[in-house]
């Protein structure tokens, strides 16, 4: 879950995606399409899940990684360009720079007589936008397949010829957009909830500790800073290009080589070592007047994307939420109980949210949550509970393999974090094969200690 659309009128808020995708891939300079077999389970529910999504992976001589997924249902192409840089990479005194420079990257470039944003409108692109998250920045658009060449040219133009064409007016405009965006979005309860989670739940100094979308640091950003940033991060060796739609992978490869092949590679930014930030004991913070409802949010810092623990904790959190929901809604002290897992490059988080009837019942809710966590950590989920949690995961998997936009997102994320989109299939298989004992151990290791509790009390009415 992270940042914000750049200039789009749509409110695409922090759509956290806890979903996996199966894939087929071979490495090397030339790839072939090889379907991975579906998981071995034989149930009707599992057999209905499309567990094989074909893709091809290529690496250009300059280091650009290209992933192509063919989907011939509609005559469109989804293009998503990832750069392996996000807010965790900003550094002291530069909070918000990656997001600011994402806005700036929609400006006019050397060979374009209008802004990139205006050009996307002109060519009839849809669902075009960009997002900066803690670990990466990505730009995306959908076009009619006949316009794919134009969109590829545009992304190559952004990569190679943006920085030198930037002006002080571009920087002032982008800075103004970010501050206006912050003013608008920080009025929304979901954003306030998210910001409070970022601000308090990671230890001080952690790369994920807090984020101020409208940091005063932005007023000190210069064009020199922007050009240095693009030179370091926006180049082929630090990028992953994912294309899905009514295309031929080999033809797409030729087009990408034509438009991107001459761009200098730059130096690849390697993957960061895990920094989970696991806490000990219990920390808490009471926040008043931020949300309209009384809400208790419990947060645990856990292992990151692609790990075995992350997969098992998804099943554990689903089971805990189900048990807590049954107990709390039955006696009327809560109206909603939800769990979520947000897994990033350095580490992840498991959250449990309870919307309560009143802040006065927070202690009782907390007691029940702790009881259910310890019960799970002692005995694991029952067969029925484990089957239910896996079915939920399977349903999410199926839901997010039907849209090329979701496919491009997941394939690119797996490539960035693991260097192999096929790791998505590893994760799916691992979750399907999880045992009650494995889930129990994950819950015991990561959920029985180190919780941060956020108590949200609505503003007192005069």
- For residue 314, pLDDT beyond 50: yes
| Packed helices 423-433 and 308-330: angle between N→C axes, nearest 10 degrees | 50
Q: Are residues 256 and 287 in the same domain?
A: no
253 and 322 fall within a common domain: no
Range of the domain at 175: 44-260
Cβ 210 vs Cβ 199: under 8 Å:
yes
157 and 59 in a single domain? The answer is yes
**Any idea what the CATH number is for the domain that residue 208 is in?**
3.30.830.10
- Strands of the sheet with 65-70, listed across from one edge: 56-59, 65-70, 239-245, 76-83, 137-144, 126-132
> For 16-30, 168-182, 353-367, 415-429, which range has the lowest pLDDT when averaged over its residues?
16-30
Residues 238 and 309 in one domain: no
Consecutive H or E run containing 432 = helix 423-433
Asked if 307 and 195 sit in the same domain, the reply is no
Please provide the average confidence, as pLDDT, over all residues in the chain.
88
Helices marked H in 105-163: 116-122, 148-161
Q: Which residue has the higher pLDDT, 5 or 434?
A: 434
**Separation between Cα atoms, residue 140 and residue 79, nearest integer Å:** 6
Query: Which pLDDT band holds residue 46 (cuts at 50, 70, 90)?
Result: very low
For residue 213, being part of any structural domain is answered with: yes
Tell me, yes or no, whether 122 lies in a domain. yes
Residue 16 in domain: no
Residue 21: per-residue pLDDT: 27
Token look-up 């499309």 returns 50
Do 61 and 197 have their domain in common? Answer: yes
Task: Kindly state whether residue 103 falls inside one of the protein's structural domains.
Answer: yes
pLDDT-based confidence at 401, cuts 50/70/90?
confident
d(CA 196, CA 299): 11
Residue 51 banded pLDDT, cuts 50, 70, 90: low
Q: 330 and 246 in one domain?
A: no
Residue 9 lies in a domain: no
- Domain contains 453: yes
Residue 437, pLDDT score: 98
Same domain, 396 and 434: yes
As a whole number, mean pLDDT of residues 150-157 equals 98
Cβ atoms within 10 Å of 269's Cβ, excluding its own: 15
Q: Which of 3, 306, 41 is nearest to 133 (CA)?
A: 3
Among the three residues 228, 260, 292, which one is the final residue of a domain in this structure? 260
Strand order in the sheet with 282-288: 282-288, 451-457, 294-302, 348-356, 334-343
pLDDT bracket for residue 214 (50, 70, 90) = confident
Q: What is the mean pLDDT of residues 414-418?
A: 95
Banded model confidence at residue 119, pLDDT cuts 50, 70, 90: very high
Q: Which residues pair with 354 in a beta bridge?
A: 296, 337
Is residue 13 over pLDDT 80?
no
Q: Which two tokens stand for residue 104?
A: 């700036």
Q: Among 241, 274, 308, 297, which residue's Cα sits nearest to residue 59?
A: 241
- Residue 54 pLDDT level (bands cut at 50, 70, 90): confident
Residues 294 and 384 grouped into a single domain: yes
Once rounded to an integer, what is the mean pLDDT over residues 138-148?
97
The last residue of a domain, from among 260, 290, 311: 260
Same domain, residue pair 111 and 249: yes
Looking at residue 374, its pLDDT comes to 98
| 328 in the same domain as 239 | no
Kindly state whether residue 33 falls inside one of the protein's structural domains: no
Question: Phi and psi dihedrals of 123, rounded to 5?
Answer: -85, 5
User: In total, how many domains does the chain have?
Assistant: 2
Beta strands in 210-313 (DSSP E): 239-245, 282-288, 294-302
**Same domain flag for 235 and 319:** no
pLDDT band at 298 (very low <50, low <70, confident <90, very high): very high
Q: How confident is the model at residue 53 (pLDDT cuts 50, 70, 90)?
A: confident
- Digit-coded pLDDT (tens) for 250-285: 999 999 999 999 999 998 887 788 999 999 999 999
d(C-alpha 276, C-alpha 273), whole Å:
10
12-46 burial, b if ≥16 CB within 10 A, otherwise e?
ebbeeebbbbbbbbeeeeebeeeebebbeeeeeeb
Report yes or no on 6 lying in a domain.
no
404-418 vs 423-433: helix crossing angle, rounded to 10: 90
Cβ–Cβ < 8 Å for 353, 296:
yes
**DSSP class per residue in 49-118:** S----B-EEEE-TTS-EEEEEE--SSSEEEEEEEES--GGGS-TT-TTHHHHHHHHTTSB-TT-SSBHHH
pLDDT value for 50: 54
| 196 to 186, 191, 201, 210, 218: CA distances (angstroms) | 11, 9, 8, 8, 21
Q: Which band of pLDDT confidence, cut at 50, 70 and 90, is reported for residue 195?
A: very high
At residue 446, does pLDDT exceed 90? yes
Check the CA dihedral 132-133-136-140 and report its sign. Answer: negative
pTM for the model stands at: 0.88
pLDDT at site 11 = 29
> Which stretch of 38-52, 67-81, 374-388 has the lowest confidence by average pLDDT?
38-52
Backbone torsions φ then ψ of 78, nearest 5 degrees: -100, 125
DSSP-H helix ranges across 241-346: 249-260, 308-330
Band of pLDDT at residue 461, cut at 50, 70 and 90: low
DSSP assignment, residue 270?
Answer: P
């Amino acid at each position: 879950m992270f940042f914000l659309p750049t200039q789009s009128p749509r409110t695409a808020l922090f759509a956290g995606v806890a979903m996996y995708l199966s894939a087929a891939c071979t490495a090397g300079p030339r790839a072939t399409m090889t379907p991975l077999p579906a998981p071995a389970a034989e149930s009707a529910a599992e057999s209905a899940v499309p567990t094989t999504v074909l893709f091809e992976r290529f690496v250009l001589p300059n280091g650009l990684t290209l992933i192509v997924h063919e989907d011939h249902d509609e005559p469109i192409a989804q293009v998503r360009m990832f750069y392996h840089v996000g807010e965790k990479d900003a550094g002291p005194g530069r909070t918000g720079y990656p997001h600011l420079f994402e806005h700036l990257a929609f400006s006019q470039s050397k060979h374009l007589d209008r802004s990139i944003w205006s050009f996307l409108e002109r060519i009839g692109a849809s669902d075009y936008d960009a997002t900066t998250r803690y670990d990466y920045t990505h730009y995306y658009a959908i076009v009619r397949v006949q316009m794919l060449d134009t969109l590829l040219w545009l992304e190559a133009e952004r990569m190679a010829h943006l920085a030198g064409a930037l002006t002080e007016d571009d920087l002032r405009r982008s800075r103004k957009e970010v501050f206006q965006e912050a003013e608008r979005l920080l009025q929304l309860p979901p954003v306030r909830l998210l910001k409070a989670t970022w601000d308090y739940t990671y230890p001080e100094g952690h790369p994920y500790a807090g984020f101020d979308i409208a940091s005063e640091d932005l007023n000190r950003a210069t064009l020199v800073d922007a050009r240095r940033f693009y030179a370091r991060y926006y180049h082929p060796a630090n990028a992953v290009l994912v294309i899905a739609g009514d295309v031929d992978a080999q033809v797409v490869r030729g087009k990408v080589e034509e438009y991107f092949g001459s761009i200098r590679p730059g130096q690849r930014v390697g993957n960061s070592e895990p920094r989970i930030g696991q806490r000990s004991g219990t920390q808490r913070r009471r926040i008043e007047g931020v949300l309209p409802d009384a809400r208790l949010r419990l947060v645990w810092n856990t292992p990151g994307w692609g790990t075995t623990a992350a997969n098992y904790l998804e099943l554990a959190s689903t089971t805990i939420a189900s048990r807590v929901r049954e107990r709390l809604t039955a006696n009327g002290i809560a109206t909603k109980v939800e769990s979520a897992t947000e897994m990033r490059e350095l580490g992840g988080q498991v959250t449990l949210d309870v919307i309560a009837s009143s802040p006065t019942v927070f202690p009782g809710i907390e007691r029940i949550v702790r009881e259910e966590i310890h019960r799970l950590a002692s005995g694991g989920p029952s067969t029925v509970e484990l089957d239910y949690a896996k079915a939920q995961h399977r349903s999410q998997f199926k839901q997010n393999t039907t849209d090329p936009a979701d496919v491009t997102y997941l394939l690119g994320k797996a490539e960035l974090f693991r260097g192999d989109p096929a790791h998505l299939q590893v994760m799916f298989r691992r979750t399907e094969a999880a045992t009650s004992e494995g889930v129990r151990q994950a819950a015991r290791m990561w959920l029985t200690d180190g919780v941060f509790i956020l108590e949200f009390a609505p503003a007192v009415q005069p």
